Structure 1
Amino acid sequence: MQDYLRRCLDSILEQSYTDVEVIAVDDCSPDDSGTILAGYAARDPRVRVIRSVGNEGPGPARERGLAAAAGDYVWFLDGDDWLAPGAVRAVADRLRHTGAEVLVVGHADAAPDGATWRTGRGPALGRAPEVFALRDWPAAIDVLHVPWNKVVHRSLLDRLDFRFRPGWYEDVPFTYALLLAAERISTLDRVCVLYRQRAGAATATAGGGHFGIFPNWARVFDSLDDSRPDTALLRPLLFRRMIWHFIRVRGNDDRLESTLRPGFFTEMTAMYHRYLPSGGYPVPGGLEGVRHRLVAGGRHRTFLALRRTSRGVRFARRAARRGVTALTTAARRLRDLVLAGYYRLQLRRPVDPSLALYAAYWYRGYACNPAAIYEKARELAPDVRGVWVVRRDRAATLPPGVDHVVAGSPGYYRALARAKWLINNVNWPNPVVKRPGAVHVMTHHGTPLKVMGLDQRAYPDGVQDPDFDAQLRRTRRWDFSVSANPHTSRAWRTAYPRRHTTLETGYPRNDRLATAAAGDVARARAALGLTATDRVVLYAPTHREHRPGRQPYFEPETFVEALGPTGRLLVRSHYFHDRSARSAGPDHGDRVRDVSAHPCVEELFLAADVLVTDYSSIMFDYAVLDRPIVVYAPDWPAYRAERGVYFDITAEPPGAVVTTFAELLELVRADALDDPAARSARAAFRERFCALEDGRAAERVVRRVFPVP
């Protein structure tokens, strides 16, 4: 434990929210944990150390800590795990907003090498009602049953008079006692706890201690109150979870020596029949359901045979995949070597003085600032031949008459080596050589709210690409860097501190927004099947690269109902959620549409009366239209602390700001999306960020970069 304890304590004491007490229980650890705890207590008055009289295990240790705690809420944390930055403030804010007795928080698993990942085990917390009892959202039964993912009001613990018992699996009765008793449960769908996966943890150790699972689950069922009307609903679901848990433990041979396995299975069967609900329970389908039936029948040998068969099938499939993968990988490597050699040969040929190569969003298609520059260059510099790089699966999305090469093809490497101009809104791949006489134009693809480039070094938790030297090498290839406004120019100077010329021109892609007329709006709406009388809202949350898969809580159907009978909602994901691999997504009736696959975001801007976003840079572009914008920022403190931002969007917003879905609905129902305060905020925002957006940004770039007659 001593190897992990400092990180655990630091993660608590270094939180931005400081009103905490830390009760550290030294359960007579044989290592230096006691000395470490004493040092922290001497340095920080918030830390109090309690020493057990003997090593009693996590249950009694929690009891000792609970008896000493004075706070209104209790959060049990194991000494080898740690809290994510901003977690305590996010928890405090959520508790203050919901008044929850139990708050279930998200977690990520952490490997010994420091890698972290969201496991996806159990139901998504973001789908839960804002506040609920277990009968209202029984899916909470399937959330990981551990103490450290729950923050509990002390009054609930006192009312239950719950006592942890010695032994393993003591977390089972704790979890379900809380969930069954609480009338106000809430969730926080963000990573708060980093759960360390390590050898030597108690329940990962082989031994008879795993039989403790049975009395602890018995404690859950023996405490059920049949006079409660919701017991009939919850008992079958708890039973299914219990059998699932038994199967997971029995299915892991590392937990049970061979001599213990038959007896463990026999006890599984006994528990099955002891607590089987009289009306049955929802048996899972597929192989899991077969396992349940084998437990019911006490058929341990068949259970083992099924496991061996399943393992054999999985092994065969993996072996086949490995064989195919090895051949595919070898062929790909050979092809890459040939193409790399071809690229080097092409670099020996002269630069083509008439060729301009364009790309956007890692070859996803024809879009953004490069597309606007391409169109204006065709008009003002007709002697320059523009060619686009696209992925093979995106070639069909190009407008008619646009010349292109497929990424990775010989034509791609030929154009990449010989083009005089290379225009992109992201960096070209690392192996690309900047040739003498070639001109690289980095157009970027947004006004930065979140920190970028070298500025990310101050926010290591949000860094996805820690190779800052490589970032700088890519930056050295730039001759021009396009900027939308003075704020962006300042940000790029610190994010990408290299010698290149800043073109503070406005963003070319916004020219069509600045010059849009009523006819353009009508055509955009008609193309989407919208009428002139529809009240259209575009909802476009950003991607949280530091929390993959995390999205704000949002109910499309509820939101569109709040808009009223003429309301229409367009929902668009971030481009990182690769739209080429998905359809437009399921529609929620005819009033809600997923427009993530729509090829042109500017068309969506023109069609929408209102934009709702969180921290996406599209708010800076949409502001050109001078229409209402709502910042829905439910996790702003965490996002700001972890990902890092250049300014506080909630203090200098482009319109109204809300932090909960309930507040967003209230804003819509009160028709306060564009009240005087919102209009005033938008005017100041536009003056700061949109002053250059006059419809001529592309022209300014083209005249500076290309030979214009």
Structure 2
Amino acid sequence: MPRFSVIVPVYKVQAYLHECLESVLTQSYPDLELIAVDDCSPDASGEIIDEFAARDPRVRAVHLPRNRGLGPARNAGMAEATGDYLVFLDSDDTLTPDSLEAVAARLKETGDPDVLVYDYARAFWTGETVRNQAAAHLREDGPAPFRLTDRPGLLRLLMVAWNKAYRREFVEAEELAFPTGYYEDTPWTYPVLMRAGSIATLDRVCVHYRQRRRGGILGTVSPRHFDVFEQYDRVFAYVDKHPELARWRPLLFRRMVDHLVVVFARRDRLPRRSRADFLRKARAYYRRYHCPVGPLPPRVRLHHALVRMGLHRTYHALRWTAAVLRRTARTAVRLRRALRAGALRLHYRVQRCLPVRADRAVFAADGVPGHGCHPGALERAFRTHAPQVRTAWVTGAGERGALPSGVRPLRPDTAAYWTALARSRYLVHNAAFDRRLVKRAGQVLVQTRRGTPLKRTGLDLRGRPGADPDVDALLADVDTWDYLVSPSRHATLTWERAFPGAYTVLEYGSPRADVFQRATPADTSRIRRELGVPEDAVVILYAPTRRAYRRTPVDLERVVRRLGPRHIVLARAPHGHDGPLANVSDRVLDVSGHPSVEALCLASDALVTDYSSIMVDYVCLDRPVVLLTDDWEAHEAVRGTYVDPRAFPPGAVARGEDDLIDIFVSGHWRGSRSAELRTAFRRRFCPHDDGRAAERVVRHVVLGEAAAPAGAPFGGRRPVPSPAVSRPRAPLGVVPRPASPRAVTERR
């Protein structure tokens, strides 16, 4: 008996069927059977099914003698199923990689519930993929499994059959089946959720829901859309048959009205001459199943009123009026924006005619939520070593609280912002300033970049798919640089080639790493308390690089379970990453929105990364680094690198998740060999990082000192130790579990 029976009804999808079936058969979880039901398709779909069945014994081909529709085809597949769980998949959609493995793990974790609901993403024909907007209802925190009464919000999800796994014994005991006609998922999904004795959720995209250019069957103008009425008859008949479900009637009634309004309002569904008949029938159904639903938002109340009264012409008149008002409002907004933009351009032009102020400096950083990165360190050094210069920081809404006292916040595209850009002598950034900036004579622009270049950058990205730079814009920006702050000879040589220009390189070290030499154990303890991390925990900072290709993230929950109760993971998503890296728990904390990555480094005992330049700053702490290089070939092909971290690593190298676990279990992560590798890495990439890099930049750029202050000798540097250094090593799993930390998730 397989774990999963994946049922795929097939009709006129020959162009998409191969991809659909392959997405099932290539799953990393092989314990499945694939039941493909040919609903008497007139194209080559039946032959494709037979080809798959001939080459893989897990595929069972079912051929129906005549076309019966999606619902009966699914029923035919269920009749053949022998798996513990039923999984439905439409024949033009696909399962995402490793999705069945994730589903199986979640089923085991939650005690084999009757129904498991997982997420999906719309895969548009243009190549864009957009996750379900109601994904918040699939959160995994809280007790599981549960009943629908505990999470009624699940009824607000798209009512489809293919975003759930169903325990087959539950389906058979309830005698559930799909009806004929359009909207056949409606009388299936509502009874399933209402009758399920146990439900669980999986906050993971498991299905890519294909959005065809010409739309699906429900986007076809046809009188068959009237089937929606009969489907709701079935839903309410089911509720009448089971009196204990009467509590759901108000919610079902509201969902029915919302559904009828959607069908009526969409121009690609009902024939024009039948629209009035549809609304009249909707009025009859409104009265037939009406029940109190409580307070409703104004827009929903209007829809209910129109359906209740069946006002066809009134509905269209209101829609036309609303459309006119929306257009008028959009035009007014565009006009207001154009006027404001014109006024700001004029203001900026006037400010550029006024003298540059030598006591003003503007700082900005890309990729940090607040005051951080190299510009943040330089801003602090300005206030310390050149207090006569008043500093301002370009910040977004809601980020002012992250700025130190004495730093003036600047909101982009305001009069104050353009005044500062026009008249400040010093401009400091780690990427590119506003493209509308006109650099004036007397202004000094200091460029820091975001980290040591391990991955290809600048002109070296030419020809790389998805990363090919706009050469003209890149060189125009480079021509505004006066200084480029470099942490090492490697960075200097790389940047001079990738960003050719007439600037001066200041090879003084990494300003943002200065804090690692100046922090104290008290600072480390304070940061841990703010994060809710116990002082005696072993804290691993997981900070991977951003990828332009799909990749299954590390199962951090599995990692910490294997490592034992002392270990906690701080998961930080890279800049531009969509969503968190992991689900928040008491031992896996999502710190993607934390304003200071340097503080997270100080709070941790070890870093796990892959190809991110954070490893270069982290080794300044002289703390263990473990690299996870399981997709090196793909990363090298897509992005390209200057350094192969496997050949010259800052510590232990893991080839996969199990290897990563073994490195920590064995203690190799902080062994003598790892320390030797880290020392060699520091000497190559961090020769100047003695805690005074930002000071050297300020003394040269602002104070005009020709010679930079001498740095501390390499052997004399004493970065703040991690708490793990002073603790004796103990076998994993035998140390008493610390109190559960407060799960802190800081977002933008």
TM-score, normalised to structure 2, is 0.62
Distance 1:271 1:684 in 2: 78
Residue aligning to 1:586:
none
Q: Structure 1, residues 80-108: CA drift from partner, whole Å, max 9, x if none?
A: 4455xxx2314423423433564433223
- Give the Cα–Cα distance (whole angstroms) in 1 for the partners of residues 421 and 125 of structure 2: 41
What is the rounded CA distance, in whole Å, between the counterparts of 2:445 and 2:147 in structure 1?
58
- Aligned-residue offset at 1:7: 5.7
Quick check: 1:37–1:49 contact (8 Å CA) kept in 2?
no
**Structure-to-structure mapping, 1:314-333, within 5 angstroms:** 314-315=322-323, 317-333=325-341
Alignment of 1:349-388 (within 5 A): 358-361=363-366, 366-376=371-381, 388=392
Q: Distance in 1 between matches of 2:677 and 2:107?
A: 32
Where does residue 585 of structure 2 map in the other structure? none
Residue 139 of structure 2 aligns to a residue whose secondary structure is helix
Q: Does 1:105 align with 2:108?
A: no
1:265 shift after superposition = 1.5
Residue 232 to residue 505, structure 1, CA distance change in 2 (3 Å): farther
Q: Size of the alignment, in residue pairs? A: 651
Contact preservation (8 Å) 2:365, 2:431: yes
RMSD: 6.7
C-alpha contact 2:515 2:691 (8 A) present in aligned 1: yes
- Mapped to 1, the partners of 2:431 and 2:212 lie a distance apart of 36
Q: Which residue in the other structure is 1:589 paired with?
A: none
Which position in structure 2 is the counterpart of 1:513? 516
SS class of match (1:209): helix
Aligned partner (choices 22, 45, 54) of residue 13 of structure 1: 22
Cα distance change on mapping 1:482 and 1:261 into 2, 3 Å: same
Instruction: Output the TM-score relative to the length of structure 1.
Output: 0.65
1:34 aligns to 2:44 (yes or no): yes
Matched, 1:93 2:102: yes
Classify the secondary structure of the residue corresponding to 2:208: strand
Residue number in structure 2 paired with 1:126: 139
Measure, in 2, the Cα distance between the counterparts of 1:468 and 1:218: 59
1:696 aligns with 2:697: no
Describe how 1:587-602 pairs up with structure 2 within 5 A. none
Once the two structures are superposed, residues 419-449 of structure 1 have per-residue CA deviations (whole angstroms, 9 ceiling, x without a partner) of 8865312222345578999876543446799
Partner of 2:282: 265
Residues 237-248 of structure 1 aligned to structure 2 (within 5 Å)? 237-238=251-252, 240-248=254-262
Partner of residue 117 from structure 1, selected from 112, 130, 134: 130
Match of 2:68 in 1: 56
Provide the rounded CA distance (Å) in 1 between the counterparts of 2:53 and 2:392: 61
Query: Aligned partners of 2:85, 2:491: CA distance in 1, in Å?
Result: 43
Query: Could you list the per-position Cα deviations for residues 469-521 of structure 1 after superposition, in whole angstroms to 9, with x for gaps in the alignment?
Result: 5775477556776566899999x879x94447987765312312321125656
Q: Secondary structure at the match of 2:366?
A: coil
Q: Distance in 2 between matches of 1:145 and 1:114?
A: 25
CA 1:10 to 1:159, structure 2 compared with 1: closer, same or farther past 3 Å? same
Distance 2:495 2:340 in 1: 39
Residues 212 and 3 of structure 1: is their aligned pair in 2 closer, same or farther, counting only changes over 3 Å? closer
Q: What do the CA deviations read for 1:549-589 (whole angstroms, capped 9, x no partner)? A: x999999xxxxxx999xxx99999998799xxxxxxxxxxx
Is the 8 Å Cα contact of residues 351 and 419 (structure 1) preserved in structure 2? Answer: yes
The answer as to whether partners of 1:342 and 1:413 remain within 8 angstroms in 2 is no
- String of CA shifts for 1:14-51, please: whole Å, max 9, x gaps: 79746587666554556xx5279749948994588766
User: Secondary structure, in 3 states, of the residue corresponding to 1:260?
Assistant: helix
Residues 543 and 576, structure 1, Cα contact 8 Å, conserved in 2: no
Query: What stretches of structure 2 of length at least 5 have no aligned partner?
Result: 1-9, 558-563, 579-588, 707-748
**SS state of the match for residue 226, structure 2?**
helix
1:214 CA drift (Å): 3.5
Note closer, same or farther for the CA distance 1:323–1:234 as it changes in structure 2 (3 Å cut): closer
- Which residue of 148, 163, 171 corresponds with 2:162? 148
Q: Which residue of 2 aligns with 1:425?
A: 430
C-alpha distance after superposition, 1:153-210 (max 9, x if no partner): 5665566664433311111233235433463533233373234165553323344322
Report the CA distance shift for 1:402/1:172 in structure 2 as closer, same or farther (over 3 A). closer
Looking at structure 2, the residues matched to 531 and 363 of structure 1 have their Cα atoms a distance apart, in angstroms, of: 23
**8 Å Cα contact 1:623/1:654 also seen in 2:** no
Secondary structure at the aligned position of 1:104 is classed as strand
Written as runs of structure 1 = structure 2, the 5 A alignment for 1:178-217 is: 178-179=192-193, 180-181=195-196, 183=198, 185-190=200-205, 192-196=207-211, 199=214, 201-217=216-232
Q: Per the alignment, in what secondary structure is the counterpart of residue 371 of structure 1?
A: helix
State how far apart, in whole Å, the 2-side matches of 1:459 and 1:143 are.
39
The structural deviation recorded for 1:310 is 6.0
Match of 1:172 among 186, 189, 202: 186
User: Quick check: 1:246–1:268 contact (8 Å CA) kept in 2?
Assistant: no
Q: Distance in 2 between matches of 1:503 and 1:45?
A: 63
Alpha-carbon distance in 2 for matches of 1:682, 1:284? 63
- SS of 2:147's equivalent in the other structure is coil
Given the alignment of the two structures, is residue 390 of structure 1 paired with residue 394 of structure 2, yes or no?
yes
Shift of 1:386: 7.3
Change (3 A) 1:172 1:652: farther
Determine if contact 1:416/1:432 at 8 Å carries over to the other structure: yes
How far residue 358 of structure 1 moved from its aligned partner, in angstroms, is 3.2
Return 5+ residue gaps in structure 1 as ranges.
Answer: 556-561, 579-592, 660-666, 668-672
Alignment of 1:438-587 (within 5 A): 441-445=446-450, 472-473=474-475, 476-477=478-479, 497-499=498-500, 507-518=510-521, 520=523
